[in-house]
């Protein structure tokens, strides 16, 4: 079977992940066919690996820090971030690349972390919502834009929208409203406050240009 | 007008500000239920019914229990039996033995949880689920309400197919109507045959009311339209699923889950777990959307609590998106038939309304009832008959969803009004204006000889304001005119819904450092009423918002009796409570100053963080006053409390006594009428007649919701809830396999919640900002009416573009438009739900 480059619907950017890797990962789980969204290994449990599962200690570059972490072959980046690195700002809204709540930057490109195996991003720079503000706590211009415009309601989609917007603005710093809307169209907001969200992100884009 | 305090001069109300929860949301620090961890936390997975209706005959758990890491398996038999309970207000909630319990041995919809497994990790729990063998006896099921009403049609529950009232025994004394029960009601073949193709059959209804003489009014009407329309079942799809983490400590259960109402969820947990509310600690600082599906959380939240008790370990129940589509609630579809009589001037003279609510398998929804009330309010028919049915189906459980019933009622009525205006040659804005309620408008049937009435209504002004801002006359002039394959349409709709309740408590403390501590029992699910409402207290006391500290989201932190945040009652209810607390603190400041500095309390004023003699003279800072209040003790620092506050407020105030000058009070302000809010919504669409594809070019919603407390949040509600309505018009619906009873649209990619690209490129909101005279701050809730307005404005813009004989159901898909235009009649006139 030929390897396929999967399209990440959030970014239309090919993800370097072969179909064979996906299948191998799923087989390794030894359980339901879509088990990669499930979580193995809580903070305190010491359950032995399932037969065939490959656990390995790897190093990830997350928010500028080198983080050593044990991951299963089929573990998604979202689960590693949330359950092993304590970075719960990345949200899970659907587990399957439909809603964008889990969007993070991988080498500056917005990606759905629920649909990326952690193993595939070992040599990449990962930025999550927690890494957006400066070390001194100064907000990223896009965060400041949202704060100033009271963008977003319940906030569950906010991290994903912010990461998608920041990634988009890195390559499109001066978008129209319509262009920026396209840039974040891989993210769902169920409060559907889209008009105010776009106003807030445009404000953030303006701050980014001035910064 | 009731005898309410004179309107305030606003320093905080009506101003934008940064809400205290926003920084955490933009930095990822905001903790939602699934973001909590506890030592030794187990994970839970659910086994879901593969059948729409069945009886569990046998469960073989042996292989699963033998797996290392599997800690416990529970079924419905491990849950507390349903029991009567008494609310804080002394109301008895009767146990429903057939009600939803979270797990079941008789699944009544596909996807209903049968059992739950707790294991050391989620993968182990999922593997255990695979190893459990359940033997089912399949039972008859029904997906479409009309199928259940046919002679010999299947019943969704063994006990019945409709919610109905048993007739009172002969010679019974007149009294309140008997309680609703599940019963069996079938229509006759003749009932079905009497309806023409595409018309809703109308057999015996289970509920009805009448106002005036409908038959006579219809006879005298210049135009009578008889239209059938089907609104869609639409899931709430909160972006945060109802994941829950629970553990027990010192005999108390700690529950983390999403809710719309912090204070009101603890008693719900206590009721479902069969324990005392004082043994519940409920934590919910952030909730990822509710929209009516999490008013007091959901019954499934007891599953990890029971598993935790059994395993003596914390348990996390992560709910997947597919599971959320099963257990996460939905708005019921209404199949409706509207016979409406008009005078030649366009006045609605009579409405004969028949609605069937697709109830799902559990507790009764009141959408059919609310639809009737809202139609009677929004269009003011002098004669009206309402008949309603609430039919049980083996589809996922329903709950209220933004503007429950009102949205569907507006959506059934608005296209009829649009068609009548075209037939009578009347402007669309004008026909809504002449039928619009105003002032203390009446609604519903006469109960005990009197009809209910609204607190106030300025819908005509909202229509005028919207028409002006939307440039209605310009758009009307080009509406319906074809340009190549494209045709534009301009539509307008009015909408109304309940917008507030009364009688809750406020609790604040001026601390000895001069800061104001505000205790909030309101849920934080995105409307921002959790902080907006309390700004009223700060404003009364002249304390800058930067010096206010809000405590919310944790019932162990001494929260006052607060409303359930459903039906947009919070802004109205809790600004009143905040007003009561603020005025109590102000009075105490004046008394403290008089005691300390001489003179009478009324000689003192409070402003600029000081209490001082009017016209100059002695005074003290609020910090000093708070110190003196602690010295004086008694009522001043909360050691003596008003008698009329709720016992939970009293307990919270007692725990906080002695920390400063306490403001505590119950909302007892007069309130004449029922509180409603209103909106006039406008849309312009462009339809491509060759493809059926259409775009929403512009949208505007003009609101009448009293005083605006927080413009940014208000505007977000108006346009966000308009988008929910628009989603019902353009694409959101369920699809069920009617043969197998299986939901087919259970993921985002096939039920298509709108993305930012579906939002009209140009969306605007406006508001009159006229205070409601029946509430001290003048504010009403706004989260409901924009839904029906949004949906109906799009439908009316579409019919303005393509004509009246195209659309018979929502959502309107391009193929529906194309096929109907080609056939010259509505092709999708079928009445089935969920197709």
What CATH number is attached to the domain comprising B306?
3.90.1170.50
Do the Cβ atoms of B121 and A129 come within 8 Å?
no
In a domain, B16, yes or no: no
What tokens does B261 get? 């109402």
**Domain co-membership, B323 together with B401:** no
Question: Residue range A10-35: average pLDDT?
Answer: 44
Find the CB nearest A47 among B120, B320, B724.
B120
Answer with the one of B626, B641, B666 that is the final residue of a domain.
B666
In a domain, B87, yes or no: yes
**Domain co-membership, B285 together with B308:** yes
Percent of chain A with pLDDT over 90: 70
**Domain co-membership, B791 together with B644:** no
**B218 — phi, psi (to 5°)?**
-65, -40
Task: Please state, in angstroms and as integers, the Cα–Cα distance from residue B698 to each residue in A172, B14, B251, B797, following that order.
Answer: 26, 26, 57, 11
Q: Is the pLDDT of residue A22 over 60?
A: no
**Domain co-membership, B526 together with B625:** yes
Size of interface A-B (CB pairs under 8 A): 222
Nearest chain B residue to A134 by CA distance is: B27
Do the Cβ atoms of B759 and A195 come within 8 Å?
yes
In a domain, B204, yes or no: no
**Domain co-membership, B341 together with B295:** no
Burial class of residue B401, CB neighbours in 10 A (0-12, 13-18, 19+): buried
In a domain, B14, yes or no: no
Find the CB nearest A38 among B122, B720, B721.
B122
In a domain, B166, yes or no: no
**Domain co-membership, B766 together with B813:** yes
Domains defined for chain A, CATH in brackets: 6-40+57-131 (3.10.20.30), 141-210 (1.10.150.120)
Answer with the one of B622, B642, B666 that is the final residue of a domain.
B666
For B31-56, the pLDDT digits (tens) are: 999 999 999 999 999 999 999 999 99
In a domain, B215, yes or no: no
| Residues near A136 by beta carbon (within 8 Å), at least 6 away in sequence | none
Q: Which residue matches tokens 């003179």?
A: B599
**A198 — phi, psi (to 5°)?**
-65, -40
In a domain, B554, yes or no: yes
Q: Is the pLDDT of residue A21 over 90?
A: no
Answer with the one of B630, B649, B666 that is the final residue of a domain.
B666
Residue A54's pLDDT is 55
Find the CB nearest A190 among B16, B26, B237.
B237
For A150-167, the pLDDT digits (tens) are: 999 999 999 999 999 999
Residue A8's pLDDT is 41
Residue B831's pLDDT is 78
**Domain co-membership, B533 together with B607:** yes
Taking only Cα atoms into account, the Rg of chain A, rounded to an integer number of angstroms, comes to 17
Report the C-alpha gap between B661 and B543 in whole angstroms.
14
Residue B833's pLDDT is 78
Do the Cβ atoms of B68 and A188 come within 8 Å?
no
CB < 8 Å to A160, chain B = none
**Domain co-membership, B508 together with B488:** no
Interface test with B, best of A147, A150, A199 (most B CBs within 10 A): A150
**Domain co-membership, B547 together with B586:** yes
Do the Cβ atoms of B720 and A133 come within 8 Å?
no
Do the Cβ atoms of A194 and B19 come within 8 Å?
no
Do the Cβ atoms of B121 and A139 come within 8 Å?
no
In a domain, B185, yes or no: no
Domain count, chain B: 3
The residue among A188, A193, A180, A172 whose CA lies nearest residue A103 is: A188
Do the Cβ atoms of A181 and B32 come within 8 Å?
no
Say which residue, A95 or B619, is predicted with more confidence.
B619
The residue ranges of chain B whose pLDDT is under 70 are: 1-8, 88-89, 828-829
Q: Is the pLDDT of residue A50 over 90?
A: no
Burial class of residue B621, CB neighbours in 10 A (0-12, 13-18, 19+): middle
**Domain co-membership, B633 together with B510:** yes
Q: Looking at this predicted complex, what is its ipTM?
A: 0.96
**Domain co-membership, B305 together with B350:** no
Report the C-alpha gap between B286 and B23 in whole angstroms.
12
Residue B490's pLDDT is 98
Interface test with A, best of B18, B23, B28 (most A CBs within 10 A): B28
Residues B392, B157 contacting (CB under 8 angstroms): yes
Position A10 confidence tier, pLDDT thresholds 50, 70, 90: very low
- The H-assigned helical ranges of B440-517 are 459-469, 472-478
A18/chain B closest Cα distance in angstroms? 23
SS percent in chain A: helix, strand, coil, step 5: 35, 15, 45
Find the CB nearest B757 among A35, A158, A181.
A181
Domain that residue B259 falls in: 33-140+237-327
Residue B7's pLDDT is 52
Please indicate, yes or no, whether the overall pTM of this predicted structure exceeds 0.90: yes
CATH of residue B684's domain is: 3.30.365.10
The residue among B675, B791, B681 whose CA lies nearest residue B408 is: B791
**Domain co-membership, B389 together with B482:** yes
Position A55 confidence tier, pLDDT thresholds 50, 70, 90: low
């Amino acid at each position: 079977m030929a390897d396929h480059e999967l399209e990440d619907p959030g970014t239309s950017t090919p993800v370097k992940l072969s179909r064979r890797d996906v299948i191998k990962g799923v087989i390794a789980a030894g359980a339901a066919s879509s088990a990669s969204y499930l979580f193995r290994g809580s903070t305190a449990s010491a359950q032995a690996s399932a037969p065939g599962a490959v656990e390995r200690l790897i190093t990830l570059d997350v928010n500028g820090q080198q983080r050593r972490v044990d991951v299963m072959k089929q573990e998604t980046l979202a689960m590693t971030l949330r359950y092993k690195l304590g970075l719960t700002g990345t949200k899970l809204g659907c587990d399957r690349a439909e809603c964008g709540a889990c969007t993070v930057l991988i080498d500056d490109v917005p990606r759905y972390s629920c649909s990326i195996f952690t193993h595939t991003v070992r040599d990449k720079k990962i930025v999550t919502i927690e890494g957006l503000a400066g070390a001194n706590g100064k907000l990223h211009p896009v965060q400041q834009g949202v704060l100033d415009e009271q963008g977003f309601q319940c906030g569950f989609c906010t991290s994903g929208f912010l990461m998608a917007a920041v990634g988009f603005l890195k390559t499109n710093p001066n978008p129209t409203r319509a262009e920026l809307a396209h840039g974040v169209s891989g993210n769902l907001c169920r409060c559907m406050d889209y008009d105010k969200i776009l106003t807030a992100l445009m404000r953030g884009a303006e701050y980014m240009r001035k910064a | 007008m009731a005898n309410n305090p004179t309107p305030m001069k606003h320093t905080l109300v009506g101003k934008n500000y940064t809400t205290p929860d926003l920084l955490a949301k933009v930095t990822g620090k905001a903790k939602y239920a699934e973001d909590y961890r506890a030592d030794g936390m187990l994970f839970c997975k659910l086994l879901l019914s593969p059948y729409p209706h069945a009886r569990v005959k046998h469960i073989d758990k042996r292989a699963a229990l033998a797996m290392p890491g599997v800690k416990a398996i529970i079924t419905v038999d491990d849950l507390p039996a349903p029991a009567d309970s008494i609310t804080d207000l002394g109301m008895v909630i009767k146990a429903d033995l057939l009600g939803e319990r979270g797990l079941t041995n008789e699944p009544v919809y596909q996807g209903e949880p049968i059992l739950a497994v707790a294991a050391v990790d989620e993968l182990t729990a999922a593997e255990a689920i695979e190893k459990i063998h359940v033997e089912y006896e399949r039972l008859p099921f029904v997906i479409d309400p009309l199928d259940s009403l046919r002679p010999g049609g299947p019943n969704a529950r063994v006990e019945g197919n409709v919610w109905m009232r048993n007739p009172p025994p002969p010679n019974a004394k007149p009294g309140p109507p008997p309680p609703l029960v599940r019963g069996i009601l079938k229509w006759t073949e003749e009932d079905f045959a009497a309806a023409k193709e595409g018309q809703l059959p109308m057999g015996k209804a289970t509920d009805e009311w009448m106002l005036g003489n409908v038959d006579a009014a219809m006879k005298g009407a210049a135009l009578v339209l008889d239209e059938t329309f089907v609104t869609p079942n639409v899931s709430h799809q909160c972006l945060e699923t109802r994941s829950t983490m629970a553990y027990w400590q010192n005999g108390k259960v700690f529950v983390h889950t999403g809710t719309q109402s912090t204070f009101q969820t603890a008693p719900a947990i206590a009721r479902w777990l069969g324990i005392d509310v004082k043994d519940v600690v409920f934590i919910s600082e952030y909730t990822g959307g509710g929209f009516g599906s999490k008013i007091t959380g959901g019954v499934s939240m007891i599953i990890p609590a029971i598993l935790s008790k059994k395993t003596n370990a914390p348990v996390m129940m992560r709910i997947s998106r597919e599971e959320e589509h099963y257990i996460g609630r939905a708005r019921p579809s209404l199949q409706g038939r509207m016979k409406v009589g008009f005078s030649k001037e366009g006045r609605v003279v009579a409405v004969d309304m028949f609605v069937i609510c697709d109830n799902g398998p559990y507790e009764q929804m009141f959408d059919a009832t609310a639809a009737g009330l809202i139609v009677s309010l929004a269009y003011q028919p002098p004669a009206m008959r309402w008949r309603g049915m609430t039919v049980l189906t083996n589809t996922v459980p329903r709950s209220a969803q933004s503007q429950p019933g009102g949205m569907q009622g507006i959506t059934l009525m608005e296209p009829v009004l649009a068609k009548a205006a075209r037939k009578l040659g009347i402007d669309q804005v004008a026909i809504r204006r002449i039928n619009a309620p105003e002032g203390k408008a009446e609604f519903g049937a006469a109960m005990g000889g009197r009809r209910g009435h609204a607190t106030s209504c300025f819908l005509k002004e909202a229509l005028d304001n919207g028409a002006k801002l939307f440039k209605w006359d310009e758009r009307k002039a080009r509406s319906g005119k074809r340009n190549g394959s494209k045709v534009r349409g301009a539509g307008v709709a009015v909408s109304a819904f309940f917008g507030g309740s009364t009688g809750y408590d406020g609790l604040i403390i001026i601390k000895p450092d001069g800061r104001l501590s505000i205790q909030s029992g309101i849920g934080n699910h995105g409307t921002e009423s959790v902080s907006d409402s309390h700004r009223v207290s700060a404003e009364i006391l002249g304390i800058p918002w930067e010096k206010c500290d809000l405590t919310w989201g944790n019932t162990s932190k001494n929260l006052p009796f607060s409303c359930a945040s459903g039906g947009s009652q919070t802004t109205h209810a809790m600004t009143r409570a905040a007003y009561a607390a603020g005025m109590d603190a102000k009075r105490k400041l004046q008394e403290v100053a008089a005691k300390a500095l001489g003179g009478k309390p009324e000689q003192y004023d409070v402003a600029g963080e000081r209490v001082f003699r009017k016209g100059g003279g002695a005074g003290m800072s609020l910090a000093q006053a708070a110190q003196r209040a602690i010295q004086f003790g008694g009522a001043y620092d909360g050691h003596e409390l008003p008698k009329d506050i709720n016992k939970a407020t009293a307990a919270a105030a007692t725990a906080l006594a002695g920390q400063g000058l306490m403001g505590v009070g119950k909302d007892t302000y007069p309130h004449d009428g029922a509180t409603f809010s209103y909106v006039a919504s406008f849309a312009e669409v462009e339809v491509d007649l060759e493809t059926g594809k259409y775009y929403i070019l512009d949208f505007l919603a003009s609101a009448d919701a009293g005083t605006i407390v927080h413009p940014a949040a208000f505007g977000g509600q108006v346009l966000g809830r308009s988008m929910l309505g628009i989603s019902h018009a353009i694409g959101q619906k369920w699809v069920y396999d009617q043969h197998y009873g299986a939901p087919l649209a259970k993921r985002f990619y096939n039920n298509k919640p709108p993305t930012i690209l579906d939002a009209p490129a140009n969306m605007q909101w406006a508001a009159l900002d006229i205070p409601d005279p029946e509430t001290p701050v003048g504010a009403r809730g706004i989260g409901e009416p924009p839904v029906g307005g949004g949906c109906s404005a799009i439908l009316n813009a579409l019919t303005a573009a393509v004509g009246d004989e195209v659309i018979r159901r929502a959502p309107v898909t391009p193929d529906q438009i194309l096929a109907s235009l080609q056939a010259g009649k509505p092709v999708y006139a079928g009445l089935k739900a969920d197709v």
